[in-house]
Amino acid sequence: MEQLRDTPLIDRHQGLHALIAPFGGWNMPIQYEGIIAEHRWCREQAALFDICHMGEFLYRGDLVAGGLEGVFTFSVASIPVGRSRYGFLLNEAGCIIDDLIVFRIAENEAMIVVNAATAGNDFAVIGSRLQPGADFTDISAATGKLDLQGPLAREVMLRFFPAEVGALPYFKFMKTTILGCEAIVSRTGYTGELGYEVFLPAAKVVELWDLFCSDLRVKPAGLGARDLLRLEVGYSLYGNDLDETITPLEAGLEAFVNFDKEFVGKDALLKQRAAGLNRVKIAFRVGSRRSPRHYYSVCVGDETVGTVTSGAFSPMLGCGIGLALVDPKCAALGSELTVCHENVTMSAAVCELPFYGGGSLRS
């Protein structure tokens, strides 16, 4: 049996009577007062998420000579200091080992933030692609991470932290001092709302959590609300919409692949693009309040044409929504589908992303 890990906030979660469940090798809060209530609070106020389970790696040295520039589907060397970039770590077949974000901390320093379930393998794979002697360290255990997300997040941040934090544009970050310790505050998130990700020493996470929660505009939210929030804006989830059998082209994320540079998996992606895709990502809306689920079948008539990768009931739209991988012939906007599982069937239609576009993300 896998030994599940606890974040530094496990006592706080238990004190709030959170529903705790395994996620990515960790005991994580799924909900506190309820997924729908926490989802709405994030859309209207400011929700606080424990994201200490994520992995963080630190690279120091020449980005090109040390080999980091060739590891991902995007250029690390061209990221301006103080900015971050999203993309992929691929295998030789062009499939996704992980999706991640790289933060350019200094000219010769970068932090790589990866998913919890894949962190150990990611560190080994990235390390194997670097030049001998490269300074590459796993700082996950020493690093804590809290996400404050919602339209009031900036106001809350400005109550506690320097005014410069409020001026951060999307996908830009700054080093600052929080609770007497060096920290990074980034204008990024996974909810479609205005938000901040705060990286600081793990030993200070409980103190920061309590500080945020002292503001009545802030409430804790669990992974259930987080998953619903990200799906409403069409963000992919590793393990559902992305994995080591799916390429970025199939996942509809070619925009995060820079074919003007070299990276592992590039040749496979070029061949796939030239040959044409056998399956593509679609977004769909259900014509009722029923919820499609991961691995439900997608059908046209009696033919199964694909599989749901993510699905849920959307409180903002009042209907079921989902992402799926399907035969390209069924991917045109407005195409009528049936989502099926055992005795469950629901009518659906292909739609555009995002499902919900009314968030405060770029406010």
Q: Using an 8 Å Cβ cutoff, are 126 and 111 in contact?
A: no
Q: What average pLDDT is seen over the chain?
A: 97
Model confidence at 363, in pLDDT bands (50, 70, 90)?
Answer: confident
Same domain flag for 208 and 285:
no
pLDDT tens column, 289-332:
999 999 999 999 999 999 999 999 999 999 999 999 999 999 99
Instruction: Please indicate, yes or no, if residue 258 is contained in any of the structural domains.
Output: no
What's the rounded Cα separation, in Å, for the pair 108 and 127?
A: 17
The last residue of one of the domains, among 171, 203, 232, is 232
Same domain flag for 148 and 223:
yes
Q: Indicate whether 35 pLDDT > 90.
A: yes
Same domain flag for 198 and 325:
no
Domain count, the chain: 3
The pTM is what? 0.97
Model confidence at 192, in pLDDT bands (50, 70, 90)?
Answer: very high
Same domain flag for 333 and 191:
no
Structure tokens at 4: 């599940």
pLDDT tens column, 217-227:
999 999 999 99
Same domain flag for 80 and 201:
no
Instruction: Please indicate, yes or no, if residue 106 is contained in any of the structural domains.
Output: yes
pLDDT tens column, 267-282:
999 999 999 999 999 9
Instruction: Please indicate, yes or no, if residue 167 is contained in any of the structural domains.
Output: yes
Same domain flag for 89 and 163:
no
Q: Indicate whether 1 pLDDT > 80.
A: no
CATH number at residue 222: 3.30.1360.120
Q: Indicate whether 345 pLDDT > 90.
A: yes
What's the rounded Cα separation, in Å, for the pair 234 and 354?
A: 5
Q: Using an 8 Å Cβ cutoff, are 57 and 138 in contact?
A: yes
Same domain flag for 41 and 148:
yes
Instruction: Please indicate, yes or no, if residue 132 is contained in any of the structural domains.
Output: no
Q: Indicate whether 287 pLDDT > 90.
A: yes
What's the rounded Cα separation, in Å, for the pair 175 and 186?
A: 9
pLDDT, position 176: 96
Same domain flag for 42 and 175:
yes
Model confidence at 154, in pLDDT bands (50, 70, 90)?
Answer: very high
CATH number at residue 318: 2.40.30.110
Strands 26-31 and 5-6: parallel
Q: Average pLDDT, stretch 197-215?
A: 98
Amino acid at 81: V
The last residue of one of the domains, among 166, 198, 232, is 232
Q: Average pLDDT, stretch 154-169?
A: 96
Q: Which domain holds residue 106?
A: 55-114
Q: Average pLDDT, stretch 161-173?
A: 95
Q: Average pLDDT, stretch 226-252?
A: 98
Structure tokens at 200: 């600081």
pLDDT, position 24: 94
